[in-house]
Amino acid sequence: MNFLIMSCKRATLLIEKNQLLGKLSVKQTIQLRMHTALCDACKGYKTQSQIMHKCLESHARHLHIPKDKLSEGVKETIIKALEKKH
Amino acid sequence: MSTKSVFSTESVIEWVNQYGDELFSWALFKIGDKQSAEDLVQETFMSAVQAVTSFEGKSHPKTWLTSILNNKVIDHYRKEKKHHSQAVSLSIDQAESITDTMFDANDNWTNNGMESLWVQEENLLDNQDFNVVFDVCINDLPPAWRLSISAKYFSQKETKEICQELGITTTNYWQVIHRSKLLLKKCLEQKWFSGN
């Protein structure tokens, strides 16, 4: 039975992994299921983590990494500096 | 066992044209200041040219350059923080001790009884005010943690590549993600749920 018991810290780490990877090992899945069945705080954390996950995703959607260009002048400066080092 | 690098100064010069724009975009996104972003990209290439003979090409050159740039970005955050007397974000030590207090000696929750508050509000994600608070909480994260989170969410990269760019192991990476989420939870509970 011992292998089924894990701490809340471990359980919440697995919740995060599962969320981003979409998979856990069979053992981890069973462990986590057992834990959240008995632990209200971790069951709650699963929901909270999902809310934060969705928030982060929507922030990412609204905040695109700009497609900027390094100006040709700066590129030239860098290349000249590199050549000098050579 | 001497592995001769196939890369040289010429390679680095080529990379300026190949990856300069993308590195600059990432730096600008992380820093928001054009001049500083340009400086950091230049510094990245200067460091790259010094280290290029030891670069064995185990990762993609762009990944390798990004890892150098990420270190420069974190240094930049650190210097910036020194200039402002009020620290905007937490240090890693502070952040770790906060997340540590969320668990007891057996690594179980020190329960705060706020679970129900999270589910009481529907459409939390559509709430403008909540999103503003969420933004504040993201900015409270230690810069290095913020970088790990944004590498995951703002670029659709594989975990392995992100870890290479950040120069950390996957185990360490999951710990950072885990702790960041815990800190966000704590922050939201303090700044949102307990006040509403």
Nearest residue of B to residue A46, measured between CA atoms: B115
B17 has a pLDDT exceeding 90: yes
What is the model's pLDDT at position B84?
Answer: 56
What is the model's pLDDT at position B51?
Answer: 93
Residue B2 — very low, low, confident or very high, per pLDDT cuts 50/70/90?
A: very low
The answer to whether the CB of B113 falls within 8 A of the CB of B186 is no
From residue B15, alpha-carbon distances to A63, B8, B26, B64, B67 in Å are 27, 11, 15, 11, 14
Counting residues of chain B whose pLDDT is more than 90, the rounded percentage is: 48
Question: Which of B25, B45, B118 has the CB atom closest to A78's CB atom?
Answer: B45
**Predicted TM-score of the model (pTM):** 0.78
Q: Is residue B53 helix, strand or coil?
A: helix
What is the model's pLDDT at position B195?
Answer: 67
Place of tokens 């608070």: B133
Contact A17 B125 (CB under 8 A): no
What is the model's pLDDT at position A32?
Answer: 95
Q: Which of B14, B99, B108 is the best residue to mutate to test the A interface, defined by the most A CB atoms within 10 Å of its own CB?
A: B108
Contact B154 A60 (CB under 8 A): yes
Q: Which of B153, B160, B189 is the best residue to mutate to test the A interface, defined by the most A CB atoms within 10 Å of its own CB?
A: B153
B83 has a pLDDT exceeding 70: no
Contact A77 B175 (CB under 8 A): no
What's the distance, Cα to Cα, between the start and end of chain A in Å? 64
Q: Which comes out higher in pLDDT, residue A66 or B14?
A: B14
Question: Which of B28, B135, B184 has the CB atom closest to A52's CB atom?
Answer: B184
Q: Which comes out higher in pLDDT, residue A52 or A61?
A: A52
Place of tokens 């990245």: B44
Residue B85 — very low, low, confident or very high, per pLDDT cuts 50/70/90?
A: very low
Partners of residue B152 in chain A, C-beta under 8 Å: 20
Residue B80 — very low, low, confident or very high, per pLDDT cuts 50/70/90?
A: confident
Contact B154 A63 (CB under 8 A): yes
Contact B153 A78 (CB under 8 A): no
Q: Which amino acid is residue B181, in one-letter code? A: K
Q: How far apart are CA A48 and CA B121, in angstroms?
A: 12
Question: Which of B9, B28, B103 has the CB atom closest to A82's CB atom?
Answer: B9
- Please compute the mean of the pLDDT values over residues B52-66 and round it to a whole number: 91
Q: Which residues pair with B103 in a beta bridge?
A: B109
Which has the minimum average pLDDT: B67-71, B123-127, B181-185? B123-127
The answer to whether the CB of A55 falls within 8 A of the CB of B134 is yes
Closest approach of B31 to chain A, Cα-based (Å) = 12
Is B175 exposed, middle or buried (CB count within 10 Å of its CB: 0-12, 13-18, 19+)? middle
Q: How far apart are CA A35 and CA A29, in angstroms?
A: 10
Q: Which residues pair with B109 in a beta bridge?
A: B103
- Please compute the mean of the pLDDT values over residues B51-74 and round it to a whole number: 91
- Please compute the mean of the pLDDT values over residues B8-21 and round it to a whole number: 95
- The three state secondary structure string of B91-103 is CHHHHHHHHHCCE
Mean pLDDT score across all residues of chain B:
87
Question: Which of A57, A66, A79 has the CB atom closest to B13's CB atom?
Answer: A79
pLDDT tens-digit profile of A6-59? 999 999 999 999 998 889 999 999 999 999 999 999 999 999 999 999 999 887
Size of interface A-B (CB pairs under 8 A): 130
What is the model's pLDDT at position A79?
Answer: 94
From residue A77, alpha-carbon distances to A11, A86, B17, B39, B70 in Å are 51, 14, 12, 11, 21
The answer to whether the CB of B26 falls within 8 A of the CB of A65 is yes
